[in-house]
Amino acid sequence: MFIGRETELADLNDMYNQNKFQLFVLYGRRRVGKTTLINHILNNQDGYKVAVIVNDIGEVNIDADLIQKGGVVGKKDDSLVALQNGCICCTLKMDLIEQLNDILKMGRFDYIVIEASGICEPEPIAQTICSIPRMGKEYTRYGIAKLDCIATVVDALRLQSEFGCGDNLTNKQIDEEDIENLIIQQIEFCNVIVLNKVSEVKPEELVRIKGIIRTLQPGAEIYECDYANIDLDKLIHTGLFDFERVATSAGWVKEIERPITEEEEDEHEHHHHHDEEEDEGEGEEHHHHHHHEGGEVEEYGIGTFVYFRRPAFDIHKFDRFIATKWPKNVIRAKGICYFSHNKNMSFLFEQAGKQKQISESGLWFATAPEEDLIQLMQQEPGLMRDWDPKYGDRMEKIVFIGQHLDKVQLAHDLDECLEK
């Protein structure tokens, strides 16, 4: 999945490893405790000066006393900086860069906190910040803000309902965007997860919620708290952020990058022979085993299943499956696939909450001329690892994360979508 991005990720990583200012990005939807945490940071600065960038001052109730003390940049004294034109994540990348440059130019602060909107996707903001060194002296003259840590605040009580069995919440005020989708993206791309309001859920529910979070994001630190009361040493000046590590730390990435096992290849062969023999009864038994599972979290009913096959999907059958048979207990699904009407093109399929989408992901390496393919294989030894004599690198490989997954039924339903 990340073949070809190694150089890009490494370059982004190197760009901001030389500077004296540090930057902390805080995610989370409204009313989960972000503002409380910001006030906690401002009230415990321990000798360093903090500037805060927010989307809308009117929606962030920063304590007035803290503004007067100079802990933040106020409207008049330039301590609390508001982006006037909207969200920092999408339409205003340049505004964010200008704001950061202006703060560094002041020379009054040594740490910057960005309060990101609850509808922000985290990776684009990180990419924007990491790309500043490329923009020339105009934006680097006064220093470069190094991304120190990305934290996501989540409300344990709300997660209990949002990650309930199929009970998804949507927010009609953000263009039908799926709240669960946004929460998942913010959990997947971060260093620290602040699990707030933990005393409001039962202990067994807390274990389940942590199991879901850990399956979605196995690499982040999870800190439990109430009233966003967390030791700031766990958030500030941690040096945790590494673009490449964070970009590849989500649970689905770990599974999609995992080499195909002999068992999975055998199961593909079983399915292939079953189609040739047209023996549906026997074929059904073949899907009762060889499924990769999620280890420890499986104890809490939360598991990971990787669907792997070589033949192409029939796009009409796949669309019908998505529309009518999609399991409600799937929390997250993401992977690569292809379709019989266009076997040269790979597609990225992803689902989080109610939102499902498919987008083109580029041509398969198998479509390259033979000379180019030999060169590619020399440059990318991992390409040979999953190469098939008949299909090349073409495959259906989708990671499913969910609760009490019926992996046999899921595999059977997806097999029904394959071209005959």
Position 86 pLDDT exceeds 70: no
Question: Tens digits of per-residue pLDDT, 260-319?
Answer: 666 655 565 555 555 554 444 444 433 333 344 443 445 557 889 999 999 999 999 999
| Bridge partner residues of 82 (DSSP) | 54
At 221 the pLDDT is 95
| pLDDT-based confidence at residue 344 (cuts at 50, 70, 90) | very high
Position 149 pLDDT exceeds 70: yes
Is this model's pTM higher than 0.75 or not?
A: no
Mean pLDDT value of segment 328-349:
95
At 296 the pLDDT is 40
226-232 contacts, C-beta under 8 A, 24 or more apart = 226/196, 226/197, 226/198, 226/199, 227/33, 227/36, 227/196, 228/33, 228/34, 228/36, 228/37, 228/40, 228/153, 228/194, 228/196, 229/40, 230/37, 230/40, 230/194, 232/40, 232/41, 232/44, 232/46
Q: Set out the domains of the chain in order of their start, with CATH numbers.
A: 6-249 (3.40.50.300), 257-415 (3.30.1220.10)
Tell me the residue type at 215.
T
Tokens 């949507």 locate to 170
